[in-house]
Amino acid sequence: MVIVEFVIVPLGEKSLSRYVAEVVKLLERKGVKYQLTPMATIIEVPTVKEAFAIIEEAHELMFRLGAERVSTTVRIDDRRDKERHMEDKVKSVMAKVRGEDEGSRSGH
């Protein structure tokens, strides 16, 4: 499973919420698992190729919504030794915060 964080910014816009809302609608229409954060959107998809296709579609959506210049930043976590989901990464950290780590290496 590939976990991808991306930020798409239509440059020169004062408010981004309407653009973000349209990207979320796109993800929901496509059935993509996502997490919206205050600074980025995180998606979980089977392949990097699928992630890039989704991000390209979201990037192009900004122009269809009227943006004249768009900046997109992408970070990819492509782990192939075992299947991990975005909530697994959070659970791993929170277990350590609570002192529940059993000394095993969880990959975080």
The residues, any chain, with a CB within 8 Å of residue 17's CB and separated by 6 or more, are: none
**91's tokens:** 């659970």
Q: 83 pLDDT exceeds 90? A: no
- Does 107 fall in a domain? no
Mean of the per-residue pLDDT values of the chain: 92
Tokens 């900046």, residue? 71
- Among 41, 7, 49, 45, CA closest to 25: 41
- Does 7 fall in a domain? yes
Give mean pLDDT, residues 56-83. Answer: 96
Which of the four pLDDT bands, split at 50, 70 and 90, describes residue 55?
very high
- Does 38 fall in a domain? yes
Q: How many domains does the chain have?
A: 1
- Does 61 fall in a domain? yes
- Does 62 fall in a domain? yes
Could you write out the three-class secondary structure of 58-103? HHHHHHHCCCCCEEEEEEEEECCCCCCCHHHHHHHHHHHHCCCCCC
- Does 43 fall in a domain? yes
- Does 40 fall in a domain? yes
- Does 104 fall in a domain? no
Least confident of 18-22, 85-89, 103-107: 103-107
Q: What CATH number is given to the structural domain containing 30?
A: 3.30.70.930
The residues, any chain, with a CB within 8 Å of residue 33's CB and separated by 6 or more, are: 43, 44, 45, 86
The pTM of the full predicted model, rounded to 2 decimals, is 0.84
pLDDT tens digits, one per residue of 3-45 = 999 999 999 988 899 999 999 999 999 999 999 999 999 999 9
pLDDT at residue 102, rounded to an integer: 59
- Domain with 11 in it: 2-97
